[in-house]
């Protein structure tokens, strides 16, 4: 009772730069989104419910969550008490460097599972995460890299299996048009006509391929670009205009829903790298 949402976000400068978050969420619900990076987390208290395109999975205390780049998902508390977790966001190149030590190829590393019950691994994730806090351990880089190698050694998959669809090229063209069209991408009817699909067919197939319909994908894309601009130091009001939101409050609402923290808090964390409150 009385618990409130809190999230602390920062960037560790080692390994070429790696973002981390320590958060407790009670009422906050993440909307459908994906990451350009991996998202590797460990639940410390409570239980998180994560919805993927193919179903719902849950992670309780000690559960390790392994989400690959581009995988659309949500996140929310399963119980009224919420959940507390630590998350690190390694990039693809950082994961490839870890895979290279295991003799992996040049492709994008993937995992065989999304939720893992492995107490020893959970402790390693938490320890590496604490080591990488501002002012943390001198060997944080080594701990983080060792963690990524351990993850791939224990739960790495040999390769991805992707479903082939007859409209694959059309969907890729539609996705490219949405990227190129920001901040004002084409409306649905125009987009569908451009790639040779009906509006209904485009929405249905786009959702199946990318985990969300085109309009939700645009919101996700705007927030992703907003993160880059905020990290570069641009004011939130200007960022909102540059990425296509109506105003700063519109940006703030969607940014917090997908990232977990407001734009200004994210910008302060990335640009000033403050000490993580409450860390020991």
Question: pLDDT per residue over 154-200, tens digit each?
Answer: 999 854 433 333 468 899 999 999 999 999 999 898 998 999 888 87
Angle at 111 between CA 105 and CA 112, to 5 degrees: 115
Per-residue pLDDT band at 105 (split at 50, 70, 90): low
Q: What is the pLDDT of residues 235-274, one digit of tens each?
A: 999 999 999 999 999 999 999 999 999 999 999 998 875 4
**What is the edge-to-edge ordering of all strands in the sheet holding 30-33?**
30-33, 73-77, 48-52, 55-59
Beta strands at 63-67 and 39-46: parallel, antiparallel or unpaired: antiparallel
Please give the pLDDT value at position 33: 94
Question: Does this model's pTM top 0.75?
Answer: no
Average pLDDT, the chain: 89
* Section 77-86 average pLDDT: 96
Lowest mean pLDDT: which of 15-19, 69-73, 158-162, 259-263? 158-162
Per-residue pLDDT band at 139 (split at 50, 70, 90): confident
* b/e code 79-105 from CB counts within 10 Å (16+ = b): eeebbbbbbbbbbeebbbbbbeeeebe
């Amino acid at each position: 009772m009385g618990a409130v949402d809190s999230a602390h976000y920062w960037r560790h400068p080692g390994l070429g730069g790696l973002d981390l978050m320590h958060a407790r969420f009670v009422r906050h619900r993440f909307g459908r989104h994906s990451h350009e990076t991996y998202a590797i987390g460990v639940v410390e208290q409570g239980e998180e419910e994560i919805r993927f395109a193919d179903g719902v999975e849950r992670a309780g205390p000690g559960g390790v969550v392994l989400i690959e780049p581009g995988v659309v998902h949500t996140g929310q508390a399963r119980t009224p008490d919420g959940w507390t977790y630590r998350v690190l966001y390694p990039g693809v190149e950082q994961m490839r460097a870890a895979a290279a030590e295991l003799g992996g190829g040049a492709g994008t590393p993937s995992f065989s599972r999304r939720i893992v019950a492995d107490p020893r691994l959970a402790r390693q994730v938490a320890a590496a995460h604490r080591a990488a806090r501002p002012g943390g351990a001198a060997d944080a880089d080594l701990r983080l890299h060792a963690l990524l190698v351990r993850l791939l050694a224990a739960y790495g998959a040999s390769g991805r299996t992707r479903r082939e669809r007859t409209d694959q090229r059309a969907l890729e063209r539609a996705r490219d048009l949405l990227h190129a069209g920001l901040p004002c991408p084409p409306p649905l009817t125009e987009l569908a006509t451009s790639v040779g699909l009906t509006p209904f067919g485009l929405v249905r197939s786009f959702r199946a391929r990318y985990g969300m319909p085109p309009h939700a994908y645009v919101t996700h894309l705007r927030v992703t670009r907003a993160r880059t601009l905020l990290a570069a130091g641009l004011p939130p009001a200007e960022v909102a205009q540059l990425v296509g939101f109506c105003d700063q409050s519109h940006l703030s609402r969607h940014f917090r829903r997908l990232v977990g923290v407001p734009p200004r808090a994210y910008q302060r964390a990335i640009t000033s790298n403050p000490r993580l409150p409450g860390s020991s």
